Amino acid sequence: MLRRTDFKESDVQGFYSGPAGSLWELCMTEEIHSGGKATTEVLARAIGLKPGMHVLDVCSALGAPARHIARDFGVRVTGLDFTDAYNEEANRRTRAAGLDKSILFVRGNAMDMPFPAETFDVVWSQEAWCHVLDKDKLIAEAFRVLKPGGRLVSPTGLSPGRLPTPSSRR
Ligand SMILES: C[S@@+](CC[C@H](N)C(=O)[O-])C[C@H]1O[C@@H](n2cnc3c(N)ncnc32)[C@H](O)[C@@H]1O
């Protein structure tokens, strides 16, 4: 089977900004991960979300998990995603749901997060880290922005090590 591992960030952004991004929602529901709302519920309980906690949702897509946990667990959420079309739609749906006092989606790269150190009680991300090219930078950033004693939850498929770049492939 042919495996394509030389994708670029612009490929990921192009995928989610175009028709495939809409089809993905149709297939997966607005919560774009396996198990939809039920999985979010299980994760939120497992990690002990409490009212007032500040959660960073890395690769927040259309923002449905953020709205779910803000509404049902009383947390504040910052969503981070580098696809503008998804961020705009996430903020639009959040305003429509009346949750924009608790949630904000911002543009940024998970490998270089635009937040000071020790900002969040929880770093959360569902089924997205497989897209992020440099896992070492991603994980270093996730720990940098976590408060001491904070929690990280990220169910996702990860290959060990760095994804090969075109120059490192034989
Ligand atoms: C499968 S979706 C995430 C689904 C979302 N977590 C949910 O559960 O609804 C993947 C998202 O990751 C984002 N993404 C991928 N690589 C990124 C990166 N390096 N920085 C920020 N966002 C990224 C894409 O723009 C896309 O919105």
Instruction: Give 10-residue mean pLDDT values along the chain (170 residues).
Output: 70 91 89 91 96 98 98 98 97 98 98 98 94 90 97 77 45
All residues at 6 or more sequence positions from 56 whose CB lies less than 8 Å from its CB, including other chains: 77, 78, 79, 80, 113, 115, 119, 120, 122, 123, 124, 145
Indicate if ligand 1 lies below 6 Å from the C-beta of 56: no
d(CA 39, CA 34): 7
Whether pTM > 0.95 for this model: the answer is no
Domain ranges of the chain: 9-168
User: Which residue has the CA at smallest separation from atom 10 of ligand 1?
Assistant: 128
User: Which residue has the CA at smallest separation from atom 13 of ligand 1?
Assistant: 59
pLDDT of residue 65: 98
Rounded to the nearest whole angstrom, what is the distance from the C-alpha of residue 131 to the centroid of ligand 1?
7
CATH 3.30.830.10 is held by the domain 9-168? no
Decide: helix, strand or coil at residue 43.
helix
Decide: helix, strand or coil at residue 18.
coil
Locate all alpha helices (DSSP H) within 29-114, ordered by sequence.
36-47, 64-73, 84-96
User: Which residue has the CA at smallest separation from atom 17 of ligand 1?
Assistant: 132
